[in-house]
Structure 1
Amino acid sequence: MTTELLNTLYAQTQGTELRLEEDSIRIRVPDQPGRRVVPLRRLDGIVVYGNITLTTQLITRCAEDGRPITWMSRSGRYLGRLDGATRGNVLLRHAQHTVHDDPDIRRAIAQHMVAAKIRNSRWIILRAARDADPGPQSALRATAAELIEALPALPEAPDVDTLRGYEGNAARLHFEALRHALRPDEGIPPFTRRERRPPTDPVNAALSFVYGLLRGLVHGAAEQVGLDPYVGYLHGIRPGKPSLALDLMEEFRAPLADRLVLTLFNRRQLRSGHFDELPGGAVHLTDDGRSVVVQAWQEAKEHPWPHTLAGREVPAGLLPVMQARLLARHLRGDLPAYLPWTAS
């Protein structure tokens, strides 16, 4: 069966109004004459940044249709999400909660997730090494070798806390390698380390923004399949933390998010003029910068990737749904293990 990759509407021009008009969304942008109408049937979700107005009628219709609305800050920080009525089989969610209470099964799922993160991190680093100068190339290949050395130890990890340690070390190595892979435009300061709250340089600002886009995609995939996005296996549970969405994100961060950010900087599509520095040192994308990233993200979601278990290529935008379905099958007992996706 062919699945159509629907579009997501991103609204970021401050003061924009989105209004329901029969079975479409009417978009009114300040200081721009005329109007734009987008049919609802062509949209799988709406993402708004900052001061965007949605009418009650539109919000209600999206809730009824199960079409998620995601609210982000202007800088791309996730604020909240509306999904409408909870969907999915209650027995699946019960199985999800039961597995969380079994330390052995939970550890096995987390182990596969960390292994996929490491393999995908190594993949992007080796790809970056192909086009690097001799000095950075040696550093990138050394990091790739160090990452792969951790894989044999994962099955021996006694608990999830130990696996989190391996995951944290892999993330540290990954971001250290990224600085050797980046070749940004003049005016972009060197990337030294990952800074999240707040991002303090353009590369970190772009990473945070794209991770927000990825989080929305993965969160929606979990909801679509019927899983509880807040009960995960690698990340701890606490109020307001979508642990399962963060779990599933790990295998996609490097090939889908980090790869996109590298491409945008190395091709000079993102330049110093696409960023603003706020009082206190925080850096965020301008409206034009967000437009560049969102357009590239939409194109990247349509890029086909090989999926070994499916035996075919799958658009990037549908990979999280595929993996959420595989996890659901494992939780139901239909698969002996969770099989993560790795790039190739």
Structure 2
Amino acid sequence: MKKLQNTLYLTRDTLYAHKEREAIVIKEEKATLLKIPIHTIGHIYCFGQAKVSPSLMQHCCENDVNLAYFDLFGRYQARIQGRVSGNVLLRRAQYRLSDSDPENIAKNIIAAKMQNARKLLQRRLRNHGDHPAMANVVSGLAFSIEQVKNAQSLEQIRGIEGDAAAQYFSVFQYLIRDDLHKNFAFNGRNRRPPKDAINALLSMVYSVIGQDISGALHAVGLDPQVGFLHADRPGRDSLSQDLLEELRAYLADSLVLSLINKGQLKPKDFTTEVSGAVRLTDDARKLLFATLQQRKQEVITHPFLNEKVEIGLLPHIQAMLLARHLRGDMAQYPPFLSR
């Protein structure tokens, strides 16, 4: 099994990372802030104007370290990628299935997404008592899962997924502590740019996990841009967005809710631009990524492999399982289902 490596987040414009022998050195205005062994890092994510030296870029390309750039809202900007690895026959199989018969994989992914969202809501109902609106959505998502199993086209699958997402986010505010509703109002999903703190957090975490998935797909030899559910679009990693659907509720949404409900993030941790866009402060981004890294190190039993794995390895495991299916080693792609 692949070993979980750390992610290095450069969250301030003034940070500069460079390679010094077998270490990565982080500096800010000539002061050394951190020195870390280079072999322990699997991802480097730069936000805003944070900089990376050419020698460190070269190391990333040669050693399959995922180096990606984001703006301060967490929107993905670019990725530095080395030579494409993997079997060209695997990518050909991916392209053929994406063109000829994408529905089965898309169904599995969306059914898993809805089931994981449903379990998040059910956990809230168990812990905090009956909530009619949320209970209705739990029932509605169960019906949507059955619908997607019988869908005959991608258009139908996407339509069912869109309706299910609208149901889920219609009760998302009830997952936030009652006494926090005033300071953390949520009136539905919005982005590009996010208009409130919850959406700012969701967009940031989705974007970062999406890049984790892109790196994992690249590592197993798949093309992150050619998906089965999301349509091809220049500059978008459609396959990464496909696999992200399985992990939204389990990893991203639950992390955001935990940070808010435990009081780790407060209204002062967000700033509003003149345009109305909301973004995290530097300290809030630092806390978010530290918490995400801790979450990645938690160990669970993978529902399909029935093995103990670290949560941070889920993108790699799901990419590996998808590759096995495309090679013909497995009849179906097994999406991630939380327990």
Question: Which runs of structure 2 are paired with 1:204-283 in the superposition (5 Å)?
Answer: 204-283=199-278
Aligned to 2:43: 45
1:126 and 2:125 aligned: no
> Structure 1: how far apart are the matches of 2:4 and 2:182?
37
Question: Which runs of structure 2 are paired with 1:66-77 in the superposition (5 Å)?
Answer: 66-77=64-75
**Superposed displacement of residue 158, structure 1:** 1.4
RMSD: 1.5
> Structure 1: how far apart are the matches of 2:152 and 2:92?
25
> Structure 2: how far apart are the matches of 1:153 and 1:185?
35
* 1:259-312 deviation per Cα after TM superposition (whole angstroms, max 9, x unaligned): 000101111111001100001100000001101111110011112232122112
Which of 256-265 and 49-58 deviates more? 49-58
Question: What SS does structure 2 have at the residue aligned with 1:238?
Answer: coil
The 3 A distance-change label for structure 1 pair 281 and 6 is same
Tell me how many residue pairs correspond in the alignment.
Answer: 338
Kindly provide the amino acid, as one letter, of the partner of residue 23 in structure 1: E
| Contact kept? 1:230, 1:242, Cα under 8 Å | yes
Question: What SS does structure 1 have at the residue aligned with 2:236?
Answer: coil
Which of 137-146 and 194-203 deviates more? 137-146
Aligned to 1:328: 323
| Contact kept? 1:187, 1:272, Cα under 8 Å | no
Aligned to 1:145: 139
Aligned to 1:178: 172
Aligned to 1:28: 27
**Superposed displacement of residue 225, structure 1:** 0.9
* 1:213-269 deviation per Cα after TM superposition (whole angstroms, max 9, x unaligned): 111111111111111000100010121111100000000000000000010111111
Match of 2:296 among 295, 301, 317: 301
> Structure 2: how far apart are the matches of 1:10 and 1:297?
11
Aligned to 2:106: 110
> Structure 1: how far apart are the matches of 2:80 and 2:86?
16
Question: What SS does structure 2 have at the residue aligned with 1:294?
Answer: helix
Question: What SS does structure 2 have at the residue aligned with 1:166?
Answer: helix
| Contact kept? 1:185, 1:268, Cα under 8 Å | no
Aligned to 2:163: 169
| Contact kept? 1:199, 1:205, Cα under 8 Å | yes
| Contact kept? 2:98, 2:227, Cα under 8 Å | yes
Question: What SS does structure 1 have at the residue aligned with 2:8?
Answer: strand
Which of 32-41 and 8-17 deviates more? 32-41
> Structure 1: how far apart are the matches of 2:302 and 2:33?
41
Kindly provide the amino acid, as one letter, of the partner of residue 20 in structure 2: E
> Structure 2: how far apart are the matches of 1:84 and 1:244?
19
* 1:174-228 deviation per Cα after TM superposition (whole angstroms, max 9, x unaligned): 1112111112647624111001111001011111111111111111111111110
> Structure 2: how far apart are the matches of 1:226 and 1:152?
33
For normalisation by structure 1, the TM-score amounts to 0.95
Question: What SS does structure 2 have at the residue aligned with 1:300?
Answer: helix
Kindly provide the amino acid, as one letter, of the partner of residue 168 in structure 2: H
> Structure 1: how far apart are the matches of 2:148 and 2:210?
25
> Structure 1: how far apart are the matches of 2:32 and 2:329?
53
> Structure 2: how far apart are the matches of 1:62 and 1:326?
25
| Contact kept? 1:132, 1:181, Cα under 8 Å | no
1:12 and 2:11 aligned: yes
* 1:149-187 deviation per Cα after TM superposition (whole angstroms, max 9, x unaligned): 112222321101110011111111111121111126476
Identity among equivalent pairs (%): 37
Kindly provide the amino acid, as one letter, of the partner of residue 44 in structure 2: I
* 1:51-75 deviation per Cα after TM superposition (whole angstroms, max 9, x unaligned): 1121111111211112121101112
Kindly provide the amino acid, as one letter, of the partner of residue 100 in structure 2: D
Which of 319-328 and 272-281 deviates more? 319-328
Which of 216-225 and 243-252 deviates more? 216-225
* 1:121-147 deviation per Cα after TM superposition (whole angstroms, max 9, x unaligned): 10111112233365xx23222211110
Kindly provide the amino acid, as one letter, of the partner of residue 107 in structure 1: E
**Superposed displacement of residue 319, structure 1:** 0.9
Question: What SS does structure 2 have at the residue aligned with 1:38?
Answer: strand
* 1:294-333 deviation per Cα after TM superposition (whole angstroms, max 9, x unaligned): 1110011112232122112321111111111111111111
| Contact kept? 1:179, 1:192, Cα under 8 Å | yes
> Structure 2: how far apart are the matches of 1:259 and 1:250?
14
Kindly provide the amino acid, as one letter, of the partner of residue 324 in structure 1: A
> Structure 2: how far apart are the matches of 1:285 and 1:60?
31
